[in-house]
Chains A and B, each alone.
Chain A
Amino acid sequence: MSVFSLFLLSALLFAGGMAGFFIRRDLVTMLLSSEIMLAGANLALLTFATMRNSIEADAIVLIVLTVAAAEVAVALAAIAVVVRRKEEATERTVSEMKG
């Protein structure tokens, strides 16, 4: 696989995730979309690591994965609470911060 196709894939992943984040309304899908964006970013980082023959980017990717795992755990728990309280977990049901 060429470096170019790898970057293209990572850009597609990121763009797709972003589009999903902005288009979809239910919180679970939005969470999923943001995970896809992270995956795209991770792929780009790994490609750079391979190109430059360096291990630093690999380390960053590991940290991103760890944080993402933790974030998913917290986010899913939060969504579970929203579902229990509001029947439905969409963006509109959690807009109490409106000024």
Chain B
Amino acid sequence: MRELFWLIPLFPAFGAAFLILFGRVISRKLVSWLAPSLVGLSFLFSLLSYIQLNGVWVKELFSWIKVGNLSIPFALQFDPLSSIMAVTVSGVSFLIHIYSIGYMANDWGYNRYFAYLNLFTFSMLLLVLSANLPLMFIGWEGVGLCSYLLIGFWFEKDAAADAGKKAFIVNRIGDFGFLLGIFLLFTLFGNLSFNYINSHVSAVSPGIATAAALLLFVGATGKSAQLPLYIWLPDAMEGPTPVSALIHAATMVTAGVYMVSRLFPLYQHSGFALELVAWVGIITAIFAATIALAQNDIKRVLAYSTISQIGYMFAGVGVGAVAAGMFHLFTHAFFKSLLFLCAGAVIHGVGTNDMRKMGGLRKAMPVTFWTFLIAALTISGIPGFSAFFSKDEILKEAYLSGHKWIWAIGVITAGLTAFYIFRLIFMTFYGEYRGEGHPHEAPKVMLIPMSILALFSIIGGWFPKSFAHYLSPLGYIKVIEASHSLEIYLLGASLILAIIGIYIAWLVYVKRKGKGWNFGFVYRVIYGKYYVDELYNFLFVTPYRKGSELINRYFDKGVIDRTVEGSGEAALGGGNLLSKLQTGLLKDYGLWMATGIIIGLFLAIRSLL
């Protein structure tokens, strides 16, 4: 596999190219076989490479850019970090391809959908397997493009088209920082391969390392939907639900966490940057979790939950526990894509996103209910389920590294998480059905991927050795051992809060049927998502519009238009003036000619003399 792992991203690349070129003429049946099986091949290769992996594999395919002292090879790297990502990405992507066969069955853009999905898988695999920053940037932009294409997949809906644009523009802001970070790193190191940068960080001062790390982190906040650039992710839910599951929950949005883990020595060298990553992460975690408490759109609850969980990952990486962060990324990929696929099955069954029109679906959709319950128990951190291990690993590491406040906020967020996810369960599956028509269970082709993901949500955290042990070949992962009594005490805290959260959700939404609980002002603020969108509108969008109008009025109309019109008028006026010379009288022409000849002769004779 060592010689063949570079084929992993190429299977979906081939699929994407083929479907984009011939998608209009080939049948849906062929697409249904081709697209998932190519991603399946990627998954197979990733898994085989993962099993055989020892140390770090780098494969240089060809020299990509060579200008002056800048030399960037097209090189892929397979090491413990990228292997986890490759297996997760291709595995989840494979399952979601299969699920999509059922979910998208009646959509007129079926072939286009799979072309984009394959393109996304290729870009994401390129992002995680690249051995240097510019190549990662290609994948980074590629997933952004696919995200845009798939959010706006139903572009005839205005909301979807707008959400696509919003995602793209917000991501561009982040990517601008990312690009500046790459430039800065190039001027500092002259070489952009991860291994080179990571092994030479000590050559630069921590101050400049902080600058580079923060610029790259701006990109990460955009791509991974962290404060202050998280606003695009909730709107991204306008896309098809499997896309939300794959791109906006399991894979693409975790790219920022992966990037920080990849360049962890740089962040560690800076110190301040790492601290900031941790704080941005944990504040985003609690911020998004509180918004999720009051949303009524089933997918938006999950979107804010994703933002919150990615915040956890950043907090984990930020307190120095790369392994814990990556572990949570790994388990999150399963349970969050499962949550979305279940939500997709529910939406498929009832035909609306609004939880107020659901309820009592437990009997109509038993498989969906059970898989949803497994995912909910997982995200709540109930012992035995995968996220229990990964989330508490993060909280434990935060506590042990001395970040007591981050630990405290993380524990509170765990309680909020449990509340909002069980609020969702109770509103959707318990009580009386409040919608129209008869809800029906999803087809098998959707239920099977859900069941597989449910299985992985449970067993995804059962590692015999710690994640840190597996990542240790990278050389910068440290393993902290906590005493057993402290560990139990730490676990207890978050577990108690989670159970309290579930109990309150049960109290409010099952026992009291959601009535009689009104927090007034606080509720309205949370329901309005802290009015951040309105704030950004006020701070950026409106001034930008106003400024554009002013520039339009004074510069475009006043300067540019006047210049263009003025030059035309000048030509016209000059022509009028010159045309006065044309008298139409032969004599005058003769006179001009004679005058010219005389002057010419005079000059000629004078030069002779």
Give me the interface of A with B, judged by CB distance under 8 Å: 18, 21-22, 27, 30, 91-92, 94-99
Contacts and interface: CB of A to CB of B under 8 A. Distances in A.
B585 A21 contact: no
Contact of B584 (A21, A27, A97): A97
B583 interface: yes
Interface of B: 578-587, 590-591, 594
Contacts of A95: 583-585
Contact of B582 (A21, A91, A94, A97): A97
B215 to A, nearest CB: 65
A96 B591 CA distance: 18
A91 B579 contact: no
Contact of A22 (B578, B581, B583, B590): B590
A29 to B, nearest CB: 12
Contacts of A18: 594
Nearest to B580: A99
Contact of A92 (B578, B580, B585): B585
Contacts of A96: 584
Given A22-B591, A92-B585, A98-B584, 18 more contacts: A21-B590, A22-B587, A22-B590, A27-B586, A30-B586, A91-B585, A91-B586, A91-B587, A94-B586, A95-B583, A95-B585, A96-B584, A97-B584, A98-B582, A98-B585, A99-B580, A99-B581, A99-B583
A21 B584 CA distance: 15
Nearest to A99: B579
Nearest to B591: A22
A92 to B, nearest CB: 7
Contacts of A27: 586
B582 A99 contact: yes
Nearest to B586: A91
Contacts of B580: 99
Contacts, number: 31
Nearest to B583: A98
Contacts of B594: 18
Contacts of B581: 99
Q: Is the interface of A mostly helix, strand, loop or mixed?
A: helix
A35 to B, nearest CB: 14
Contacts of B587: 21-22, 91
A94 to B, nearest CB: 8
Contacts of A94: 584, 586
Contacts of A91: 585-587
A99 B578 CA distance: 8
Q: Top 10 closest A-B pairs, CB basis?
A: A99-B579, A95-B584, A98-B584, A99-B582, A97-B584, A91-B586, A95-B585, A98-B583, A91-B585, A97-B582
Contacts of B585: 91-92, 95, 98
A95 B589 CA distance: 11
A94 B586 CA distance: 9
A94 B584 CA distance: 7
Contacts of B586: 27, 30, 91, 94
Nearest to A33: B590
A6 B579 CA distance: 43
A90 B125 CA distance: 90
The winner among A18, A30, A97, A99 for most chain B CB atoms within 10 A is A99
Nearest to A22: B587
Nearest to B577: A99
Nearest to A30: B586
Contacts of B579: 99
A96 B590 CA distance: 16
Nearest to B575: A99
A97 B587 CA distance: 13
A86 to B, nearest CB: 14
B38 to A, nearest CB: 74
A18 B582 CA distance: 21
Nearest to A21: B590
A99 B582 CA distance: 5
A94 B587 CA distance: 12
B573 to A, nearest CB: 14
Contacts of B583: 95, 98-99
A5 B586 CA distance: 32
Among B580, B581, B582, B586, chain A packs the most CB atoms within 10 A around the CB of B586
20 contacts: A18-B594, A21-B587, A21-B590, A22-B587, A22-B591, A91-B585, A91-B586, A94-B586, A95-B583, A95-B584, A95-B585, A97-B582, A98-B583, A98-B584, A98-B585, A99-B578, A99-B579, A99-B580, A99-B581, A99-B584
Nearest to A24: B587
A92 B582 CA distance: 13
Contacts of A98: 582-585
Contacts of A30: 586
A65 B585 CA distance: 26
Nearest to B576: A99
A95 B588 CA distance: 11
A18 B590 CA distance: 9
A55 B516 CA distance: 125
B155 to A, nearest CB: 58
Nearest to B582: A99
B592 to A, nearest CB: 12
B596 to A, nearest CB: 14
A18 B595 CA distance: 12
Nearest to B579: A99
Contacts of A21: 587, 590
A96 B582 CA distance: 10
A30 B580 CA distance: 24
A21 B588 CA distance: 11
A18 B587 CA distance: 10
Nearest to A34: B590
A92 B584 CA distance: 8
A21 B585 CA distance: 12
